[in-house]
Amino acid sequence: MNTTTRAVAVCGLTVRHRRTVALDAVDLDFGTGVHGLLGPNGSGKTSLIRVLATVTAPGPGRVELLGRDVSAHRERAEIRRRLGYLPQRFGHYPGFTVREFVSYVAWLKEMPAAQVPAAVERAVGRVGLTGRIDARLKTLSGGMVRRVGIAQAIVNEPELLLLDEPTAGLDPEQRAEFRALLRELGTASTVIVSTHLVEDVATACSRVTLVESGRVAYRGTTADLTGLGQRLPREDGSAIERGYTAALLQHRTAAAGRPEVAR
């Protein structure tokens, strides 16, 4: 993929769930690299990720992924072959082995059959489950199942990788390994990590987008976000956590008097 091309271009995106506005005229773009998507619970992060994953149809506005318009059915089919997605609630088939399940996802993405076996072993190896590749999912711990979810998301070497709370259930060592994997993937692909864990963003992401009440509250580098934290007392968490708090306070001050929306 051309590294100068925006993998994601969102203009005026509005998403409603019945009478609730989840995203309010959002403008965003993402290129190659690892991007953190932060925000409080109910801020609209998952709604945005689901639209980018083509799971939820966008409302008013325009969404282009990998140079294609998601509103066109034929375009969506091509986008899905080229993206990877790990939802917050990862569904799986307990009776499948790890190999069978990741192979099944590769088949859904219409990968060439001759490439699938090696791609599956590579993806499973990258999440540290080579020794359990023929174990049934129902025999795995919750953290291992989450790693299978990451494997299925990367089996097709996606140009756009969307991860919603990917480190849930992982222990500290596994989180460190996962962050290293993200940095590796981000050298050639666009990776968007939606999380409420600021430390994941601090160690793995080059840029940060902060969403609150369905609106973009902050965009910048992790270094810039850390710099915002210098305004708050040092006892209020790590430097980037203080920056996160400062960015939220700035946005809330600027948005005072406007009606809030929820996810």
Residue 263 lies in a domain: no
Give the pLDDT confidence score for residue 57 in this predicted structure.
85
Is pLDDT at 94 greater than 60 in this prediction?
yes
d(CA 29, CA 38): 15
Residue 259 lies in a domain: no
With both helix axes pointing from N to C terminus, report the angle between 116-126 and 98-108 in degrees, rounded to the nearest 10.
120
Residue 260 lies in a domain: no
Query: Which of these, 211, 193, 197, 198, lies nearest to 44 by C-alpha position?
Result: 211
d(CA 5, CA 31): 6
How many other CB atoms sit within 10 Å of the CB of residue 219? 16
Structure tokens at 159: 């140009």
Residue 3 lies in a domain: no
What are the backbone dihedrals phi and psi of residue 11, each rounded to the nearest 5 degrees, phi first? -135, 115
- Domain extent for 186: 8-254
In a 3-state reduction of DSSP, which class is residue 158? coil
CATH number for the domain spanning 44: value is: 3.40.50.300
Residue 34 lies in a domain: yes
Q: Are 117 and 133 in contact (CB under 8 A)?
A: no
134 burial type by CB count under 10 A (0-12 exposed, 13-18 middle, 19+ buried)? exposed
Start-to-end Cα distance in the chain: 32
Residue 73 lies in a domain: yes
Query: Which of these, 182, 181, 189, lies nearest to 31 by C-alpha position?
Result: 189
Q: Please state the rounded mean pLDDT for residues 244-254.
A: 87
Is pLDDT at 2 greater than 50 in this prediction?
no
Give the pLDDT confidence score for residue 259 in this predicted structure.
55
- Number of domain units in the chain: 1
Q: Which residues of 91-112 are buried (b: 16+ CB within 10 A; e: fewer)?
A: ebeeebbbbebbbbbbeebebe
d(CA 79, CA 162): 13
Is pLDDT at 263 greater than 80 in this prediction?
no
Q: How confident is the model at residue 5 (pLDDT cuts 50, 70, 90)?
A: low
Q: Please state the rounded mean pLDDT for residues 15-43.
A: 92
Residue, of 202 and 156, whose pLDDT is higher? 156
pLDDT digits (tens, 9 = 90+) for 34-88: 999 999 888 999 999 999 999 988 888 999 999 999 988 889 999 999 999 999 8
Q: Are 75 and 32 in contact (CB under 8 A)?
A: no
Q: Please state the rounded mean pLDDT for residues 14-39.
A: 93
Residue 262 lies in a domain: no
Give the pLDDT confidence score for residue 215 in this predicted structure.
93
Give the pLDDT confidence score for residue 33 in this predicted structure.
95
Q: How confident is the model at residue 253 (pLDDT cuts 50, 70, 90)?
A: confident
Among 43-47, 104-108, 206-210, 254-258, the range scoring the smallest mean pLDDT is 254-258
pTM of the model: 0.91
pLDDT digits (tens, 9 = 90+) for 176-195: 999 999 999 999 999 999 98
Q: Which amino acid is at 262?
A: A
Structure tokens at 109: 């993405």
d(CA 160, CA 192): 8
Residue 2 lies in a domain: no
Average pLDDT, whole number, for the chain?
90
Return the percentage of the chain with pLDDT > 70, whole number. 95
Give the pLDDT confidence score for residue 258 in this predicted structure.
58
Give the pLDDT confidence score for residue 15 in this predicted structure.
93
Give the pLDDT confidence score for residue 4 in this predicted structure.
44
